[in-house]
Amino acid sequence: MSTHPAVRFQNVSKVYSGARGTFKALDGVSFDIAPGEFFGLLGPNGAGKTTLISVLAGLTRATGGTATVMGHDVVTDYVEARKRLGIVPQELVFDPFFSVRETLRIQSGYFGVKNNDAWIDEVLAELGLSDKANANMRQLSGGMKRRVLVAQALVHRPPVIVLDEPTAGVDVELRQTLWRFVARLNREGHTVLLTTHYLEEAEALCGRIAMLQLGKLKALDKTSALLAGRASTMLRFKTDDALPAALASQARVTGRMVQVKARDAADVETLLATLRGAGVKVEDLEIGRADLEDVFLEIMQGETQKAVTA
């Protein structure tokens, strides 16, 4: 059994230089992903998630640091690294000249995999594409094209699978189909690295999570530890009234929905008293556990505030 981590980033940095100056997309990012992990990589737009994945895939060259896949350096030993890596790109791209089956056979060939029809048929069936096998890529809907992207990444049975926002803009059925199949692959020993903006997916699927902001690693822990170590209770309610200033500064407001962090029961009582005192009419009040979105926002806002006050 390999003693290497499935994925290792060591002090990876990426600086883009142009006429408008330089932009640091990644700033000394280091972490490991163990074989068999389901790992989440989260961050707001522009955090550096896709750049980090591009470094791993060899699409982008790091300015500094190294990245390895199962112990193989992605630059100096790229053949072995890429054989072990399956990437589902974020953009919905396809080759309009070929059918689904042709596309998958060709992609298998690039990895030196011959006579791969049995696995191709299995992947097609798992992703609900069997009846589209001989359809031209141009004839497929967006959701179907997204499924083919996933199939292309899996066609050479890579031990490490990278999913870069695979469910962006796709329907519930595809999400469920995709997660069922990826969870199966993970149970069979495949390592999964997932980036997503759907934090409930990350919370449900990922055993560990890293959070990036402005190219820096801001958090790295087990999902359960991230949830337990931060605000543990949230007060949620709906209102049409303006919140008192003391509450407005710490509340997360989405339309009529208001969410406020509470440390304990006494804190909840204080918050409710403040609302009563301000005459705020509250509907659908509930007290619940903080979810990953709360943790994510707390970390990101905390870092933003640090950056502002620094």
Partner 1 sequence: MSRFTGAAPLFKKEVLRFWKVAFQTVAAPVLTAMLYLLIFGHVMDGTAKALPGVAYTSFLIPGLVMMSVLQNAFANSSSSLIQSKITGNLVFLLVTPLSHWAWFVAYVGASIVRGLVVGGGVLLVTVWFVPLQLAEPWWIITFAALGAGMLGSMGLIAGLWAEKFDQLAAFQNFIIMPMTFLSGVFYSVHSLPAVWQTASHLNPFFYMIDGFRRGFFGASDASPWLSLAVVGTAFVVVALTALRLLATGYKLRS
* Residues near partner 1 (CB under 8 A): 16, 54, 57-61, 78-80, 82-83, 85, 87, 89, 91, 93-98, 102, 105-112, 152
Kindly tell me the burial class for residue 129, based on how many C-beta atoms sit within 10 Å of its own C-beta (0-12, 13-18, 19 or more): buried
Nearer Cβ to partner 1 (15/247) = 15
Measured from the CB atom, is 85 or 205 closer to partner 1? 85
For the bound state, the minimum distance from the C-beta of residue 58 to partner 1, rounded and expressed in Å, comes to: 7
β-bridge pairing 216-222 and 208-213: antiparallel
Q: What angle do CA 108, 171, 40 make, to 5 degrees?
A: 65
In the complex with partner 1, the residue whose CB is nearer, 15 or 268, is: 15
For strands 85-88 and 72-73, give the pairing.
unpaired
DSSP at 89: -
Choice between 19 and 266, CB closer to partner 1:
19
CB of 104 to partner 1, least distance (A): 11
Residues forming beta bridges with residue 235, ordered by sequence position? 260, 287
In the complex with partner 1, the residue whose CB is nearer, 91 or 131, is: 91
How far apart are CB 153 and partner 1 at their closest, in Å?
A: 8
Cα distance between residue 109 and residue 106, in whole Å: 5
Least distance CB 135 / partner 1 (angstroms): 15
- What are the E-state strand segments in 255-296? 257-262, 283-289
CB of 37 to partner 1, least distance (A): 21
